[in-house]
Each structure stands twice: as structure tokens, then as C-alpha cells.
Structure 1
Amino acid sequence: MTDTRMLTAEVYRDAERLHWSHRQELMPGAQVRPLWTDGGGTFLYARRTTEGNEFVRVDPAAGTREAVSAPDFAGGGDFTAAPSPDGRFAVYREGHDLWLRDLESGRARPLTTDGEPDYEYGTGPDSMEPRTLMRALGLPGMPPAVAWSPDSRRILAHRTDQRRVRQVHWVEARPADGSEPALHAKRYPYPGDGEPPLAELVVLDAESGEVVRGKGAPLVMPFFSPIQWRWVWWSADGTAVFYLEQSADHRTLRLNRMDPDSGEVTTILSETGATRVEPNQFMGAPPIVEIIGDEVLWYSQRDGWGHLYLYDVVSGTLKKQVTSGAWAVREILHVDEAERVVYFVASGLAGEDPYRRSVCRAGLDGSGFAKVIDDDLDHAVTVSENAGYFVDSASTVASAPVTTVRGWDGSVLVELERPDTTALEALGWRAPQQFRVKAADGRTDIHGVIHLPRDFDPAKRYPVIDSPYPGPQVNRLMPGFDQGFFGNMSEQLAALGFVVVALDGRGTPGRDKPFHDVSYGRLATAGSIDDHVAALRHLAETRPWMDLDRGVAAFGMSGGGFATVRAMLDHPDFYTVGVSICGSHDHRHYHQGVAEMYDGPPAETDYAKGANAEDAHLLEGKLLLIHGGMDDNVSPTHTLRLADRLLAADKDFELRIVPAADHLFIGHEHHLLRWLWDFMVRHHMGAEPPAGYRIAPTPLDMDLISGFFS
């Protein structure tokens, strides 16, 4: 097992160059983020190269793409204000209230005057607000949670009630100004707390100042503002407000209509299930609900898959199931009301990969279903501001994206980018291998990828690292070329000489409802770690270059940090090395919304069985715990509580706390990457990292950061 060699600085340097902050320089054009102009008739996008940004202007109607000089983004908007559609006004927060500014005269006046601490207007719940990150980026606060009516006359907002929500504290060991430690507090509900954050809807008149309060019950607000999460929206003509309302146990979802003149609320339709009922399988993704005149397209998993159903808005009666089959609708792109056709993204229709996304169409009467683009690639789609066309990025996990502008008939209007992987390969990157194996139950197919090490030689044997993320709100794997934050970390580890495996076990989203519900009430299984063990053993049977004899290592962040430790505790003979970063090790002390939505109500679930600290005495392998001291998503107390129990059990482990770091280690990621690499190289490869090597910090570039995580 032991390899006494020392890795060279060149190997580390190449792995560092694979970091996501360099990806667009290595593959210019691999990510196209349109900036709409002319109401969406044209758009701009930037190509990041080693020499800086290049800008391209695209006119889909003319079929042209041309390089242009850098646009003037000066005065591009105030992050903390919400401008009206006509550009005359902007809404912003002042203290605990909302204010309106006339952008021509500069005069401002209050829209509300009765806001107070923990009962204020235009804010989301404290618990998910990334205050540490915002301080690091120099941002004064989150944008106001408001939505303007299409005619710029009224503002939809909510009053946020957190007065009875639990208060949780963080100690900032060394503030940026070098002063004494500072105490920070947030309203942060735990599972079983009876009082979640609530949102009371209000409509504010920009001209008269009239306030109309919604007469429905306050909305339970477990994660973010329902306005910012797009669970509340104006009708196209501005005569109604529609909103989704989820019950406290997450098992009932209602579509309501509110009259903005009176505040009266009526329920259009309601659906209840045995487990959570969601408007989308993926947390934070737009609800798959569309109002079409006096009809509504409604997403439901009632037949075991996620499909579209057409309802009458007035009577709430079902008119037609629009889509059906052993595949899942992922997103509504556009509804052509004149042609009575809906365009949408679906997964499970591209080859044998159940996660790849296809662009499809279907008549609202359920007829005429077809794939708009007839291939087996994964399609990441952005619809133009005027809905006249869409930007399509088509790829696989192993093939670079080809980005085009397409009409709704699927025809290519303009080809934008066709990057290659030459520069990546020069740094040790190899296209990952996709696989399909059976889960631990011996029946269910599960899918994943293998990231191959640099200079891969099938005659050699390589140490294996598992990269779990248990969901159940998002997938660990991405269906296209861009493998996201965790996939990028896996690519870097592979470039150091490891085989890195990532898969989505049972209980994760994106497929059928029964597959997802395997995790309901069973978060303690960490996204079916048993499936990971079964998959790795099966893969190694036909891949002798996967060296399982030395044991398997694991690493992960957040839920993946929890899963890493859970894997080592439940399978100590299999997982022998682990790096757990900002792990949510005890759901009793984590976010109420996550635990209660995905693990069930406290009366039905024993959250203690998923607490890693309770089983700390089972640890056998080499473990490194890393946490940000100012992580205001998963409190550092999660790791410190686990460390306390490990010490009580007289277990050896390593602990690293970054005092100022947030949940994503923005501005501090270079520390955790080096610690991760060094720990894996020493304890799993049996080699030595290059002496004195330091990874350069990632620039605190808001555009770069948002571009990667969008």
C-alpha cells in the first residue's frame, strides 16, 4: 500500500490549474451566460480567456455572432434595490421597512412604517441568509424580497415574522478590523421548533401608498423568501397574485389566488401525499407551475413520475394529464398559447442515462409529444427574455458543450461556441467514465462516473476515493460536461493520481418518486451509503486498477461531510480515510426545513439515529474534520460536537477550523484544498505532498463566483 515517493510541485500545480476559477480560461466559451439586450431580441456574452474577457454580440433573427468592444456596465444597478419595469422607481429596505425612490428626482418616501426587529418587510428568513459571505464580498445586504406588477403600479412584498423563532449565535474570533471577538445572532429554527419563519403577503401601491394585506394564512417560510424563490408571482395582466402554499408537514401543496385590490384569497387546487409534495424535485429550482389564461399547468408526481396536468383555474377541476411515461419533467420553458403547445425540459429520454435533459414539446391536450432536439446529449437551456428562442448547451459528462441559439422547432439559428478539452488534458484531466450498476438491493439501477487519474495505465493499481453527497434535495452528479463544485474537486484529486468515484444512490432526486422517497425518514443512511459500497465493489470486479485492498477514502462538504463520517462509522472496514468539510453531523441542530421536509415530522422520525456524534466511538480510520468558524449555514458546533465525542472515545483525528470562513470557504478555499490534497496523499496514497507547496487564493470576484454557482 505504501508509496514512499514524493509528489512533485508540478503535479500539484497542474491540479491547481484545473480549479473552476481557471476553467473558462482553459476552455473559452464553455459557459455562455446571456445578457439580454433589446428586450431579448439580441444578447451579449463574455468569453473569459487568459488575456481577459472577450465580448460577443448575438442577433438570432439575423443569424449573426460578432466580437464587440467591452460594453459599459457603469450604473448597471443597485444590488440592494428593485427597479420597476418602467425604470421610474426602485424599492429598497431602510431599517425594518420598505422605501420607494423616484429614480429621476431622487426623492424617497416610506412604503411601510410599522416594521420592527424580527417583524419586518421585504426580508427572507435569517437562517439561509449568507451574511458571512456577504460581509466578505463587501455587500451591504440581500436584495429586497419584492415583485413589481407588470404595469409598475404596485409592489408585492411580505412581512417576515421571526419573533418566536429560535436564536442561534456565532462568535467571530477576529473581526476584520482586529477588534475583540464579536457575537453574531440569527433566527434559525431547529426540527421540532413550533414556530417557523412566516411570510404575510402585502400589496403596496407605488402612487397612493395604499397597503393591502393578504387575508390568507401566513406562509410557512422554511428556506428563502417565497417571492425570491418564485413561489409567489403576479399574473401576466397584473390583476391577480398567485402563490404556492405548503403545509407545515410538507405533505400538502396548494395553489392560491389573491386579489391585490382586496387581499381576498381563494384556493384553486390542492394536492396531498404520503410524503412531501413538491412543485419541483430540486430545492430552489423554479416551481413547475404555469398560469395560462383561465388554465394552469400543474406538476405532480402522483403517478410515480413528475408530469404536467392541466387544470381549470376557476373550478379547480382536472382537464387533462398533459405528459406521461417513465421519465420526469424538469422545467417548463415556454407555453405557446396560440398553438396550445408547452415546451419543457425532461430527463430520462436520452439513451440509458436517466438524468440527461432533453428539450421536448407537447400539446396542452396531451397530444403531439416529441423531442425538439432529437439526440441523446444533455441540454442545458436558457430561454430568451422575449421567449422567442433559447440558448442551448449540449454535452455529455465526457464531451465538451456545443452552444447554439435555437428556434422552438429545434433549428439552429446561430452556433456560438465549440470548445475543446486540449488544455484540460495537458494538465492531467481525462474524460470520466460513466457506469451503471445495481444498488445494494440487487434490483435498482444506480448511475455514476469514474474520474481517471493522470497518466492512467490500466496495468497499474490506484487508490480509490468516493465523493458522496446524499441529497436528497440535489444530485451529486451533473448530467452534462460541467460537473459542478464537487465534481471539480474530484477532477483535481484525479489529477493527483487517484481514481475518484461519484454516484447518486437511492433517495436522491431526478428520477421517479419511489426512488427519491427511499431517503424519506432515513436521512441517517446518508443517501444510501450501502449503495456506494455495493457499487464500488461491483466496479472493482471488472476494473482491477481500482485498488480496494487498501480501503476506500471519502470526502465531502456539508451533507457530503456528514455522509463521509457516516460512511466511516457504518463501514469502518471499507472506508479507511475521510475528509469531512463543514459537515451537518446532527440534524437535531440543523435547519428545520431540511430535516422536516426530507426526514419527516419529528413525531415520526428519530433524528438522533442520524447524529454522527452518537456513534463516534465506532471510528477506526484516519479522519480530518474541517469547518469554517463563521459558517452560518451549518454551524461549526456540528463539527465541534463531533470532535467532543471523538475525544471522549479517545479517538485520533485531525481538526482544522478556519476562523473567518463561511459555508463555501469563499476566500479561504485554497486552505481547505491543500489540506484535503495533503491528507489524501499522505494517508491514502502513502506518498508525500510537495514540501512547502501553497495554492493561490481564488479572487473574490462576484461575477466569477456567481458564474460558477449559477
Structure 2
Amino acid sequence: MSRNFWKSESAGTFCHVSNYHLLLTFFLLFCSLTSTFAQGKKADYQRAEKVKQVMDTKVFYAPSAFHWLEDNAKVWYANSTPTGKKFVLADVKNKTKQPAFDHQKLASGLAIASGMKVNPDSLPFTDIAFVDNGKALEFTVNETAWKCSLDSYVCTKTVKRPDVRRRGFWGDNGEDNTRQNIVSPDGKWTAFVKSYNVYVEATDKSVKEFAMSFDGSEGDYYSPVLSWSPDSKKLVAYKIRPNKPHLIYFIESTPNDQFQPKLHSRNYLKPGDALPQKQPHLFLIDSKKHIEVETGMGHQYAVTNPKWWKDSRGFTFEYNQRGHQAYRVISVDADGKAVDLISETSKTFIDYSGKKYRQDINDGKEIIWASERDGWNHLYLYDGLTGKVKNQITKGEWVVRKVVKVDEAKQTIIFEGSGREKGQDPYLIQYYKVHFDGSGLTALTSENGTHAATFSSDYQYFVDTYSRVDLPPVTTVKSAVDGKILQELEKADITELQKMGWKAPEVFVAKARDDKTDIYGIIVRPINYNPKKSYPVIELIYAGPHSSHAPKVFNSDFRYRFLHELAELGFVVVQLDGMGTSNRSKAFHDVCWQNIKDAGFPDRIKWIKAAAAKYPYMDATRVGVFGNSAGGQNSAAALLLHPDFYKVAVSSSGCHDNRMDKIWWNEQWMGYPIGPQYTESSNSTHAAKLKGKLLLILGEMDDNVDPASTMQFMDALIKANKPFDFLMVPGMGHSLGGDYGEHKRRDFFVKHLLGVEPPAWEGMD
């Protein structure tokens, strides 16, 4: 600005001064408007937190866990009510419902015994056990176990039941090679592995230990997990050719117990790594005979532990061929002869982790088996002696989701299924009963919602809770014979949600890439949305092929609430299941095979465009996407492979290259051996294609997806000179980034999709 700017001796200079005042006026007006708008955005953030709070605490009469008592006709549950948490006991036979105990007296008794302040409307436990024939309660508070009489309400400390759950890292496929003494069913013999070989000795030491094998070695040893035949005359052991562990490392930068960082490691097998190879060996104790069983198995992914028939005629085990395109149930007789009872093959993959089911009937004379061989997941009845299919039990263009109960005596099966009821979302779970021969298929539930059943131990009754994303839960007790409603229990109250203007998500259906298949998803709008305005769209994406992921039940989990919280900032938020995910037909699922990068994007883009065509306030030119884990891979890929549609992405804990992630998940869908399909699906391969705004979030202690996967993707982006944002959360494991990461994610979308500078974090509470 020149020193002559403020002079007014000439008309020209006067114009400069006038322009300055005009600019100053506009500037002050802009600051005022910006301040008002920023306040509005702060209010949006605060409303998002309010929505979360109300959804978490103000949905009443929607219990989710039910516990049948031993007499089978009574069930208890914890119920959230406007006056606090209440424990309820329902009596099916008498059709009564009452408090499970006197909450005030129990609170007083516990307070006296513990010295704590105890609120009867917020008792400090969620799980109870009726003991002493229903005359007392047991529960745990802060790691202390208590027992309270229901007569006197005197509470005393008791011994906490031990936690018998197996501890260990889920990704470690290693064998426990410590000595295990396996006693025969008749108690006469003890078997164990010593110096890599199988040994047997008399339990009473009357017969000294003797070797059953002599060919074991450090590199080819016998597993200490041995299996006796029921008649105690035969023994099975796997001989193992071990693999080399694959260690991944983590540096914990800020441990709680010391100032200096810590180095951690995990045994974490990845696609292409060597796997243990096991071969069954049969030992005949009386003759001390050793038989190497010839099975014809090829390269194994895994084999199951041997399972003996009760009559000791032989045993079975299951063989999963590496590559997941062959799966066999192999039967071995008492002479060591092996035959295939069941043999499944696929040109793509066998979903062993999500759909496999086997139940032996009448000591293996018959076998119930699940298969997708006709294009849909259904049940089959096999002759367990010949390996021939006797009949298909269920059939049709719908899927069996889970077998709940097989009743040998009544020759019936209770199972979960979806897609059978016409006019309903095909993902909604219903319960059915059917005979082994496929006759008498009976729907135990039918209401238009997804059902969750908790059966009494005698399978005469079940508690049924059903809901949809747009239908609050309804809970009843039904007959497990015919599905008849026997007792009404609860109907959810969402009055507090409705008072704040909350609207349920809309279930939206549009055609897939083939213009034939229906794609299902949900649309979430902000409370104050105005159909005359324009809203950017954000998609929560998770295209993991192991399941389907769009919410189907009301207020189901944190992801459901995530969508509503994010919408309050000024977005329309969506979630859907594209092709390549599970719980539809085999063809629908197969789209993912060796093609994780597809992620259903052609269906997702088409679906969002169809929704925007119906609802013009959805701006399909401003679309963001976020996801975690496999969804982290998907969300980043959106900006690499479909940048003309997706503009902003937040990716957390991403599996950006399937060669860097856990073996079981990735070889299941991407196949074996490792080939060019892995390279083609890697985000690092396509890093140079990045367009739009990308935020990567990573926990330094993520032992689910190797953190190096994200770091390698970052390296590729840097080498391609591509700008991106990155947040590393110290000490955090596999997550979306915690509360801090969530705030950063919201800010990122507000800034880059709304074009608004997010409000300051101070004073946001």
C-alpha cells in the first residue's frame, strides 16, 4: 500500500479511500457471517454428541441378552427403563413378569457388605446367576464375586468362577509342543510325545513306557495332541512338518509402565507363508503296530483334529486344501484305510470360515452338511457309511445362515435363514424348523424384521427379539414347536429420540451393475435436514467378503450410531452391501474372488446415484467415504480407482495390500498361490492414481492388520508425490482412531466436503 493512499487532495485518492471503507464493510460483514456459521457448525458437533448420548442411554425396554433358568420355563434379563436398569424375571407357564429380586434390598445389602454406595436403579453389575434353587444370587462387582440371599438380602464375598477361556494371540498358528499326558478312556494307558516320538505306558506303571514310533525328528515330529479311540485300543497322532514363524514387530512409543519405548512381536502368518503339513498316523496298542495313513491329501491349508466314532470303528478329520477350492471329510477305518466321505470343490472358493457346518448323527451313520453346490447355502443329509447324499434338506433361492439345534430323536433341525420370505429384505434373519428328510419346513418367526432367538435348554421355548433399522425392537416368548407367541415381554420406547427430532434410517433398494440384482442399503439424514438444501453424501464402507455389513437391526452397534452422529454435521450418510459380500447367492459372493479391489464399487456408485436421483438434495458430486480395516483398504481405493465419483476419504487401520495381512482372511478370497491378482488389488500399486483428499489413520500397536501395510502405502504415495494427511495414534491397536481419530475424521469431511473450516476444539464439550 503506497504512502499516498490516505491522501485526499484529489478525486482519485478519494476513490481509493471510499473503496477501502467499502472493503472494510464487506470484510466485517463476512467475519460476522463466518462467526455465525462457525457457531452453527459447533452446534452441529454438539448435537452429534447429543444424538450419540440419547441413542446410547434413552432407548428403553429394548433388552438384548436373555438367560433361561434350569427349569426352562423362566427367563431373566436386564432392562433399561426411564427410572434405571431393572432385572426382570418372566415365567412362561404362568405368563407373569416381575422384578427378578428386590432391587432396593439388594442395593442395601451390597452397600452394607462392601462399603460402597449402591444405587438400586443402577446396580453395578450386568450378569447374575440364580443359585441354591433360586434362593440366592451371584454376581461380580469390580473383580469381586458376591453371593446374596434372596430371603435376607445378606451379601457375602465368594470365590469367583475361574475364566476357562483360552488365552492367546488369534493369529498364532503354532503348535504347543509341551508334553501332554493323554490318558486312555479306560484309564489304563497314558500316551505322550517324547523326543519327537509317540510313547505309551501303563498308567499304574505296571508296563514301562515303550515307543510306538521311531521316525520323529525335530523337523518332522509328532504332535503332543493325541487322540484315543473310545475302546482304548487305538491312538491317532499327527506327524508334523513344521513351518517357520513369521514375526511382525511393533514399537510401543509410550508404554504405561516405563518411559522408554517397548518392542513387541507377534507370530503372524501372511499369504504365501509356509504352513505346517500334517499326516495322520494310527497306532494299535496291543500289537504295537504303527500305520501311516495314506490319504491322498495335497498341499494343506489346515486339517482338523481326529474325531473317533463311538464304536471305535474308525475316525474322521477334515482337510482344507490350500487355496480353499477343495474341502474333504476323510474317514479312516481301524486298519488305517482312508476314504472321502464328503468332497467339496469350487472353481472360486469354499467359504469354510463362514458357511461350513457338519453334524454327525447316530454315531456317524448320517451326517448333516452345509454346501453352496446349488448356488445357495443349504443343508444336505449324507449317508455317513457310504458318503452318498441321501437328500437335500433345504432348498430354494435363499440361504441357511446358522444351524441352531439338531434333534436326533425327533429328526428335526432348527436353523436361521434369510431371503425366503417374499417382500422382505433378503438379509433379515428368520428362524425355521425342518425334518431331516426336508419335509415339514415351519417358520418359527415371520414378522418383517431381523430376529434374534434365545432358546431354553430343552428347546421348547425361545425369546424372540425382532427389529429393523426403522423398527424399534419387539420382544416376545414363542413356542419352539410352531412359533406361536406365548408371552409379550417388551416393546422398545424411543420417545426421547423422537423428541429431539430423530428420524430412523430409510432402507433404500437399487439395482446392481447387472441391472437385475437388488442392492440393499440405508440412508441416514440429519435431524434438521431441509429437502430444499444440498447435502454432501458420505458412505461408510466395509466390503469384507466374510459377511454382509449394512445394519439390519435397530440401534445395533456403534457403527449404526456413527452414521447418525456424522449426519448431524450436515451430511447424508449411507451404508450398503455391494456384490462380493456374503449372505446372498454364491454368484453374488464370487465377485470378490481374486478381486478384492472391486469392493462392490460399481454397485455402490450406481446405488448412490439412484438415491440422488430420487432425492435431489443428495449431492452426488460431493461424495466422501470412510472405513476401517478392510474398509480402510476400500475407502482409500475409492480415491485411487474411482476418483471421478469419490472426492474425500478417511481410511483407518487399512489392509492396503493383501500380501501384508493375515493369511486366513486373504488367501480365502484372493487365492493361492500368490499371483498377479494380489499386486493388482494392492492400493500401493495404484498410489500414483490418487485424486481427492485422503486422511490415513493408524494405531501403532495394531496387531490385526500389520501397521507396515499403511506405511508401505504411504511410501508409495510419497514416491508418487501425492499429498495426503496422516494421523498415528500412540499405543492404539486396531481401531478407527478412538475419540481423537473420530474428531479428526469429522473435521476432515467438514473441511473438504462442506468447504467449512471446522470449529475450534476448545469449548466443544
TM-score, L = length of structure 1: 0.78
**Matched-pair contact (CA < 8 Å) for 2:351–2:668:** no
**Matched-pair contact (CA < 8 Å) for 1:7–1:688:** no
**Matched-pair contact (CA < 8 Å) for 1:219–1:245:** no
Distance 1:357 1:554 in 2: 28
Distance 1:6 1:64 in 2: 52
Instruction: Using the TM superposition, name which of 627-636 and 350-359 deviates more.
Output: 350-359
1:463-502 pair list within 5 angstroms: 463-502=536-575
Count of aligned pairs:
628
Amino acid at match of 2:566: L
Distance 1:370 1:95, change over 3 A: closer
Amino acid at match of 2:573: V
Instruction: Say whether residues 1:508 and 2:587 are aligned partners.
Output: no
Equivalent position SS for 1:454: coil
Distance 1:670 1:386, change over 3 A: farther
**Matched-pair contact (CA < 8 Å) for 1:395–1:401:** yes
Distance 1:689 1:369, change over 3 A: same
* Correspondence for 2:266: 186
Equivalent position SS for 1:562: helix
Instruction: Say whether residues 1:654 and 2:725 are aligned partners.
Output: yes
* Correspondence for 1:35: 67
Q: CA RMSD in A?
A: 4.2
Instruction: Using the TM superposition, name which of 655-664 and 453-462 deviates more.
Output: 453-462
* Correspondence for 1:142: none
Higher relative contact order (CA 8 A, sep 6+): 1
* Correspondence for 2:170: none
Pick the aligned partner of 1:196 from 270, 275, 291.
275
- 1:625 deviates by 0.5
Instruction: Say whether residues 1:621 and 2:692 are aligned partners.
Output: yes
Instruction: Say whether residues 1:572 and 2:604 are aligned partners.
Output: no
1:675-690 pair list within 5 angstroms: 675-690=744-759
Distance 2:327 2:62 in 1: 38
Distance 1:543 1:501 in 2: 13
Pick the aligned partner of 2:342 from 269, 272, 284.
269
Q: Deviations over 1:566-597 (max 9, x none)?
A: 11111212211111011100112112222211
**Matched-pair contact (CA < 8 Å) for 1:346–1:359:** yes
- 1:258 deviates by 7.6
Distance 2:57 2:386 in 1: 55
* Correspondence for 1:422: 495
- 1:326 deviates by 0.9
Instruction: Say whether residues 1:72 and 2:145 are aligned partners.
Output: no
Distance 1:157 1:580 in 2: 46
* Correspondence for 2:321: 247
Equivalent position SS for 2:360: strand
- 1:392 deviates by 1.5
Distance 1:552 1:82, change over 3 A: closer
Distance 1:301 1:95 in 2: 35
Distance 2:573 2:195 in 1: 52
Distance 1:252 1:406, change over 3 A: same
Distance 1:214 1:399 in 2: 59
Instruction: Using the TM superposition, name which of 625-634 and 569-578 deviates more.
Output: 569-578
**Matched-pair contact (CA < 8 Å) for 1:628–1:659:** yes
* Correspondence for 1:597: 668
Structure 2 gap ranges (5+): 1-33, 102-127, 129-136, 140-144, 146-158, 168-174, 182-189, 197-224, 231-235, 283-289
Instruction: Say whether residues 1:15 and 2:45 are aligned partners.
Output: no
Instruction: Say whether residues 1:407 and 2:479 are aligned partners.
Output: yes
Distance 1:693 1:162, change over 3 A: farther
Equivalent position SS for 1:435: strand
Instruction: Say whether residues 1:349 and 2:420 are aligned partners.
Output: yes
1:95-106 pair list within 5 angstroms: 97=178
Q: Deviations over 1:640-695 (max 9, x none)?
A: 11112222222221100112111136xx6212211111211222122344422589
Pick the aligned partner of 1:388 from 460, 484, 487.
460
Distance 2:264 2:239 in 1: 23
* Correspondence for 1:130: none
The structure having more radius of gyration, on CA atoms, is: 2
Distance 1:79 1:17, change over 3 A: farther
Distance 1:388 1:430 in 2: 38
1:520-669 pair list within 5 angstroms: 520-525=593-598, 527-549=599-621, 551-603=622-674, 605-664=676-735, 669=738
Pick the aligned partner of 2:743 from 650, 667, 674.
674
Instruction: Say whether residues 1:431 and 2:431 are aligned partners.
Output: no
Distance 1:49 1:352, change over 3 A: closer
Distance 1:376 1:558 in 2: 32
* Correspondence for 1:206: none
- 1:80 deviates by 4.4
Structure 1 gap ranges (5+): 84-93, 101-109, 117-144, 151-155, 204-211, 697-710
* Correspondence for 2:255: 175
Equivalent position SS for 1:606: helix
- 1:545 deviates by 0.9
Q: Deviations over 1:616-652 (max 9, x none)?
A: 1222211110011000011211111111222222222
Q: Deviations over 1:121-166 (max 9, x none)?
A: xxxxxxxxxxxxxxxxxxxxxxxx999999xxxxx99999875132
**Matched-pair contact (CA < 8 Å) for 2:523–2:574:** yes
Amino acid at match of 1:196: L
1:65-144 pair list within 5 angstroms: 65-69=97-101, 71-73=137-139, 74=145, 75-80=159-164, 97=178
**Matched-pair contact (CA < 8 Å) for 1:674–1:694:** no
Distance 1:484 1:146 in 2: 42
Distance 1:287 1:415, change over 3 A: farther
Amino acid at match of 1:365: D
Q: Deviations over 1:345-368 (max 9, x none)?
A: 111123241111121222222222
